[in-house]
Structure 1
Amino acid sequence: MMLLDSIGSVFSVIALKPIIMLMFFVIFLASIGKSIGVRRMYVNMLVRIFEYGRQNIESVRKLQYSNLNSSDVDEVALTTKELSTDSIDQSSNSAKINNVTKLNGVVTQMVNGDTNNGNSVISRVESLILLPGVENCPSKNRDSNQQDEIETLEFNLSNCLDYVKSGMEAIIEDEVTSRFEAEELKNWNLLTRTNRHYEFISLRLTVIWVIGFFIRYVILMPCRVFICFVGVVNCVVGFAIVGLIPNKKLRIMANDYVFKHTFRIFCRSLSAVIRFHSREYKPKNCGFCVANHTTPIDVAILSTDHSYSLIGQRHGGFLGILQRALARASPHIWFERAEAKDRMAVARRLKEHVSDPTNPPILIFPEGTCINNTSVMQFKKGSFEVGGVIYPVAIKYDARFGDAFWNSSRFSMLQYLYMMMTSWAIVCDVWYLPPMTRNEDESAIDFANRVKSVIAKQGGLVDLVWDGQLKRMKPKKEWKEKQQEEFTKRLKGE
């Protein structure tokens, strides 16, 4: 038995040796910022597999459609023909319209799958959209002719109907809540967290799903955890050594290398494929790099190409370890969200930071919370009041390979990392945009909105005016009062 155990141990070591050597080779490539193209080949292969899965699902759906009860199909055709005549009474007409709609809905769902893409349940056509700044934009869809007509009207009970309609739409689906849910995919990506009960729809797709499950959980996940562990050790030890260097110039150079080296390892642990665009606009020192915020991984994504000073909420646990390690080697700004007094201190430290040309640019996410990468929400004005150059950056993730959005109210950081390490990959595009400065006659809010619109346009995101903190707090009292004032003016005919 002892001999058999020894032989088994030897074979285990022999089997693990190539895998360990491969992981260290990946870490070495990350340390020098090089790639041999394996991850891109892997992503391209996944795209072809997803496309095959889509075709397989569609073929099964078409088969189900063809097997529909012929009487149901005949009823659709007959009812449609009857509805075109004038001899049908109103009550029966209404009932048959409902039947046709229901049957056509079944047919559509069987052919194309679920028609709802997760972004919108209702269609807001010519409805009154109430925004926080109603004095500037009381309605998105109210044209000038309609406005002139309303101003000449006296009190009419129907004046409140558009507000009632807008309120009902907000109850069904508001613009804010849907931005804190995972982006729903048009096609299934073989992950059970985005499952639409497709894994058992056909034998071929089941086999592919089982193989993919084995690869993600048995092969990729252990390797990714090991590489991430090496990255954490490199972060803690590397920045501790950098912090001991007395010469400032040498310390800055060492910090730049260790900073990018560390976050490249973290990104390799997630099989991240990052495409940078317009690198001539890369942020310079003593400025602000402003980006939309989807996940804490945003920091790692951007830091593979440039070193930054970070600003954000002070965390505990895993993130706290990284924050304390980073602070040993370079200037970073951590604050408590609940402490209002910290805002003044943060603004003062920001001014001090940008006044030193040797400091790295500050990486800021003005939304203050993670959004699901479908939109950009209100930018806080604090970082736009300090002055200095703003370097906008747009980040867009490809949700087919893994949903990068972190719902912090639902998942802890470790749960989120577990989900990322069992996803297929993290694929994203990063656009560096031309630097922007605040105009003399421009307020900080207007400047923030201008930067936000540029980022939203480049990233193909929806530009929203709502504050992302609405997922944690109730609307401000001032917003309610503005809506009441606007409604009062409409009733008075002003």
Structure 2
Amino acid sequence: MILLELISAVLSMITMTTLLLFMFFIIFLASMGKSIGVRRMYVDLLVKVFEYGRQNIETIRKQQYAHLDISDHNTSQKNNPTNSPSIEKEVILKGDTEKAQSNGDAFKMGNSVISRVESLILVPDVDNTRSKDREPNNEDDKYSLEFNLSNCLDYVKSGMEAIIEDEVTSRFEAEELKNWNLLTRTNRHYEFISWRLTIIWVIGFFIRYVVLMPCRVFICFIGVLWLTLCTALVGCLPDGSTKRWMVKMVLIQCFGVLSSALSSVVNYHNIENRPLNGICVANHTSPIDVLMLMCDNCYSLIGQRHGGFLGVLQRALARASPHIWFERAEAKDRMAVAKRLKEHVSDPNNPPILIFPEGTCINNTSVMQFKKGSFEVGGVIYPVAIKYDARFGDAFWNSSRYSMMQYLYMMMTSWAIVCDVWYLPSMTRNEHESAIDFANRVKSVIAKQGGLVDLVWDGQLKRMKPKKEWKEKQQEEFSKKLKGE
């Protein structure tokens, strides 16, 4: 008995030692910016598992629908022998098969349950461009603007579409998957549909919560401590080229360690367009966006001042390099931010400053209105498009629903964080081009490259009601229709 306990203790010690050595090896490789390809092999294996799950679900559903067809056929034969088998099951089965296809390009047009006809109403018209487009140019157009009761139907139709599924609020919810990724947070009651899927789900649950999560928490803890220590030491150096080089190396190294805590796999495209200075703008999904970009380049950051875990990181970063933190509710603070931003961009020795012009997190299916402030500063703008693969983990942070610690918990119990980052060619503001037009031009380029829907709505609708002038503009247009103007 004593011998068995001794052997068990020795095996436990060996296992723990091996696990610790393996984690320190991962941390060392991440700090050196190296990888042996384990995470990419792991992601490739997950794709095969998801595909097997999809095929298994399709097979079970075909059997279920076949059984229902036989039952309906027998019932119809009894009631009316001349009836043919119901076609409804075939339609349903075809729809389920299409939904079960891989994500691919399905997300490029966003989630939608209704087919919208392009309309010019119920859309914010900031620059009165839509009103100018709708001015009558000939007698036929004037005749079409005469009052007709059917004119109200466009508004009724758009209102019903908005009730069923509007373009805005759906962007503040988690992206809907076409395939089940074996996570209960995207549960479609498939884990018990067959014994094979049940076994795979149980194994996956054990791996995520018993193996991956403790390792990720440990690596994250070490990474935060290392970041805090390194930035404090580098911050003591005198300003100059040596300090700037040290800051860049330290930040890339530290964020590489933190990225390994999420099993992240990042594919960087067009690195020849990587920003060197000026302003870098990107679409915004979560604070992880900074992590993905800082693993490849050094940036100064601008954003809202936070407390808690994010506050620790913000204070650590501020010790080593110039960053701009502000309070969103204070108007005076916003004016000071604009001034500091101009000063930062005017110094060519400063690293590029990373800005998310949307001002809030969107679920990575679309790009919403860019605030014009960063486009009024002048200088070169470097657009960056970020697209996450939601099959492995939903990177979107719904800050109105989850705290930062809850969000981190979900990230560390996901399969992985997989994303593509595209560095786009630099852009400058054209002569006689307004800041709003320039912002929209940059936004459209990012949306096109990332396969995202380009929306004109303000992302702050996540927290506040539509602006009063938008409502008044719609009322004014409708009154003109009624008057036949």
Shift of 1:485: 1.4
Shift of 1:161: 1.5
Question: Which string of whole-angstrom CA distances, capped at 9 and with x for unpartnered residues, describes residues 255-277 of structure 1?
Answer: 11111111111110100000000
- Pairing 1:23-422 to 2, within 5 Å after superposition: 23-70=23-70, 72-73=72-73, 106-108=92-94, 119-125=111-117, 127-133=119-125, 135-137=128-130, 148-149=140-141, 151-285=143-277, 287-422=278-413
Gap change, CA 1:153 and 1:475, over 3 Å in 2: closer
Gap change, CA 1:71 and 1:204, over 3 Å in 2: closer
- Residue 440 (structure 1) aligns with: 431
Work out the CA distance in 2 between the residues paired with 1:139 and 1:175: 24
Shift of 1:329: 0.6
CA contact (8 A) 1:381 1:448 kept: yes
- Residue 15 (structure 1) aligns with: 15
Q: Which stretch shifts more, 340-349 or 11-20?
A: 11-20
Tell me the secondary structure at the aligned position of residue 256 of structure 1. helix
Work out the CA distance in 1 between the residues paired with 2:322 and 2:118: 50
Work out the CA distance in 1 between the residues paired with 2:458 and 2:164: 20
Q: Which stretch shifts more, 167-176 or 66-75?
A: 66-75
CA contact (8 A) 2:392 2:417 kept: yes
CA contact (8 A) 1:378 1:465 kept: yes
One-letter identity of the residue aligned with 1:215 = I
Work out the CA distance in 2 between the residues paired with 1:53 and 1:482: 50
Shift of 1:450: 0.2
Tell me the secondary structure at the aligned position of residue 157 of structure 1. coil
Work out the CA distance in 2 between the residues paired with 1:376 and 1:33: 31
Gap change, CA 1:111 and 1:461, over 3 Å in 2: closer
One-letter identity of the residue aligned with 1:57 = I
Work out the CA distance in 1 between the residues paired with 2:315 and 2:183: 35
CA contact (8 A) 2:265 2:419 kept: yes
CA contact (8 A) 2:232 2:316 kept: yes
Work out the CA distance in 2 between the residues paired with 1:445 and 1:44: 42
CA contact (8 A) 1:129 1:139 kept: no
Question: Which string of whole-angstrom CA distances, capped at 9 and with x for unpartnered residues, describes residues 187-238 of structure 1?
Answer: 1111111111000000111101111111111111111111101110011111
Shift of 1:379: 0.2
Work out the CA distance in 2 between the residues paired with 1:291 and 1:316: 24
Q: Verify: 1:468 aligned to 2:459, yes or no.
A: yes
Work out the CA distance in 2 between the residues paired with 1:268 and 1:424: 12
CA contact (8 A) 2:136 2:142 kept: no
- Aligned residues between the structures: 476
Shift of 1:128: 5.0
Work out the CA distance in 2 between the residues paired with 1:265 and 1:13: 26
CA contact (8 A) 1:277 1:430 kept: yes
CA contact (8 A) 1:391 1:435 kept: yes
Question: Which string of whole-angstrom CA distances, capped at 9 and with x for unpartnered residues, describes residues 391-425 of structure 1?
Answer: 00000000010011110011111111110111110
Gap change, CA 1:103 and 1:204, over 3 Å in 2: closer
Gap change, CA 1:18 and 1:146, over 3 Å in 2: farther
Shift of 1:129: 3.8
CA contact (8 A) 1:62 1:111 kept: no
Gap change, CA 1:230 and 1:488, over 3 Å in 2: same
- Residue 88 (structure 1) aligns with: none
CA RMSD of aligned residues (A): 2.9
Work out the CA distance in 2 between the residues paired with 1:437 and 1:107: 51
Work out the CA distance in 1 between the residues paired with 2:132 and 2:342: 38
- So what's the TM-score if we normalise by structure 1? 0.90
Work out the CA distance in 2 between the residues paired with 1:258 and 1:312: 21
Gap change, CA 1:353 and 1:410, over 3 Å in 2: same
CA contact (8 A) 1:392 1:455 kept: yes
Q: Which stretch shifts more, 144-153 or 474-483?
A: 144-153
Work out the CA distance in 2 between the residues paired with 1:224 and 1:104: 45
- So what's the TM-score if we normalise by structure 2? 0.91
1:478 to 469, 479, 485: 469
- Residue 95 (structure 1) aligns with: none
Work out the CA distance in 2 between the residues paired with 1:129 and 1:73: 48
CA contact (8 A) 2:121 2:474 kept: no
Gap change, CA 1:121 and 1:145, over 3 Å in 2: farther
One-letter identity of the residue aligned with 1:366 = P
Question: Which string of whole-angstrom CA distances, capped at 9 and with x for unpartnered residues, describes residues 347-384 of structure 1?
Answer: 00001101111111000000000000000000000000
CA contact (8 A) 1:72 1:103 kept: no
